[in-house]
Structure 1
Amino acid sequence: MLEKFINFKIEFKLLLLLIIVFIFTTIIGTVSHECGHFIGAKIIGFNAKVHYGYTSIIYDGDLRGKDQFDRFVFTLGGPVQTMFTGTAGLMLLFVFKKSNPVSSINLKQWFFIFLSLFWLRQTANFATWIIGYLVNDKLSLRGDEIKLAQYLQLPLWSIILPTALVGCIVAIIVIFKFVPLHQRFTFVVAGLIGGFSGYILWLEIFGKMIMP
């Protein structure tokens, strides 16, 4: 039954290539997310600087005080950029979808696949939020989605949970509708290895040196 949906066979050459792509996608996704915060800062008239895993506000004598709305716009910029990119990737996948059942995909379609998976940042954020609760026995108040919910006086889960579910749905659509059957398991394994490796390599090691 499962063979209709996934073939538990790994193509090792493809696995290595996809791991590398997932690593770079994780890095690009992180930096572009911070660029979203940078744009948010510019919209409200603030100077900002993008770092390896966060964006800082640069205060000077010409800047007005930062109020609740300013914080909201600045915080919103990151998730909006991430979700917009993921949505654009998914839409392009449907636009350029082959009419025949998928057996192979070209480079352009692979590019759209990785763009659409920007949505998985939302799912990963929710997973780490829940893991943090299980480990520390309290919910973290950090994270863009949590802060946005607080600004809007909504329950802490009200933004992070729905967007995480959308991320899951997007991933399921991408994997089972666009990734060829014989490459699906390889793709999933590469995503787990590459995503985690990209996180460690960028946020814990090289990012601090390249974009301190």
Structure 2
Amino acid sequence: MFILYKRMLFLLSGCFILLTILGTITHEYGHIAVAKCLGYQNTLHYASMEWSNDFKSDVLKTYDRYRFEIENNLPFKHKNEYVIKIKKINTDELFITLGGVLLTVFIGTAGFVILLFQYYKATNTTSFMKWGLIFLSLFWSREVFNFFKGIINGIFFNKGNYFWGDELKISNHLGCYEGTFSIISGSIGLCIISFLILKIVPLKYRLTFIFSGVLGSISGYIIWMIILGPMILP
């Protein structure tokens, strides 16, 4: 019989709230780390980051000055130089975008691999460590969220465009089908979450875990994206 454990529901919901907030900030620091390595100055916001330097500013100024010529593929002064610069900006943007996604995926993969090792080797571990590894593995849930958010947006708000976020940007930068990265990462994330629920989370806590995931994730989104985030990191 499946029942909800109130104390566990409260604790796990709190963990999901923290996961939502920390996962968002960590993801942005992944972008920032790469941007700094490429020589850009960065500004962290609650759900995004800005990157800029004199090189990028010059490219933007050129675009503003020759917007009509650029958008209509017409000749203009220093066009060849602009084309070379814009290619570098696009390449840098790809690496910066990948930085956030790869850091999130790396954390999730590290937690999941350690968890798998303990599961199949029957390694003794404390309950606290086990739950900690479960929540590290759940960093993959961002990929699942982005995948389904894109589909929902495509169906209800923007028909014809079913992909969203950094995953869409990466696919476009690589010249792939726009859903390539979203589908691959979302599918991997869904498999990992399914394994966690069906194999790792104790049976008696399974329903509580699912309910706390829904409750905590929604609460974390509201708390950080709507209430605290804009106040702390506008």
Deviation at 1:8, TM superposition (A): 2.5
CA 1:142–1:129: 2 relative to 1, 3 Å: closer
Confirm or deny that 1:155 pairs with 2:149. no
For 1:32 and 1:93, the matched residues in 2 are separated by 21
Q: How many matched pairs?
A: 205
Q: In structure 1, give the amino acid aligned to 2:135.
A: F
Higher mean alpha-carbon deviation, 60-69 vs 13-22, is at 60-69
Q: 1:98 Cα shift?
A: 7.5
Q: Determine the structure 2 residue equivalent to 1:74.
A: 96
Q: Is the 8 A contact 1:46 1:63 kept in 2?
A: no
Give 1:61 shift: 7.0
What does the per-residue CA deviation read over 1:51-104, in whole Å, with 9 as the maximum and x for residues that have no partner?
1100111434798855211110011111101110100010111233375699x9
Structure 2: gaps spanning 5 or more residues:
60-87
Change (3 A) 1:61 1:162: closer
- Within a 5 Å distance, the mapping from 1:21-170 to structure 2 comes to 21-60=15-54, 67-97=89-119, 106-136=127-157, 137-139=159-161, 142-170=164-192
Identity of aligned residues (%): 35
TM-score, structure 2 normalization: 0.81
Larger radius of gyration: 2
Higher mean alpha-carbon deviation, 197-206 vs 52-61, is at 52-61
How big is the shift at 1:211?
A: 1.3
Q: Verify the 8 A CA contact 2:9 2:209 in the aligned structure 1.
A: yes
Q: CA RMSD in A?
A: 2.3
Q: Deviations over 1:130-168 (max 9, x none)?
A: 110111223167510101111111111100011101011
Secondary structure in 1 aligned to 2:46?
coil
Residue of structure 2 in register with 1:4 after alignment? none
Partner of 1:173: 195
Q: Which of 204, 218, 221 is residue 199 of structure 1 equivalent to?
A: 221
Residues 41 and 48 of structure 1 are in contact (CA less than 8 Å); yes or no, is this contact kept in structure 2?
yes
Shift in Å, 1:180: 0.6
Q: C-alpha deviations, 1:84-130, integer Å up to 9, x for none?
A: 0100010111233375699x961011110000000010010011101
Q: Which amino acid aligns with 1:130?
A: I
Q: How far has the Cα of 1:184 moved from its partner?
A: 0.7
Instruction: Give the structure-1-normalised TM-score.
Output: 0.89
One-letter identity of the residue aligned with 1:67: I
Flag structure 1 segments of 5+ consecutive residues without an equivalent: 1-6
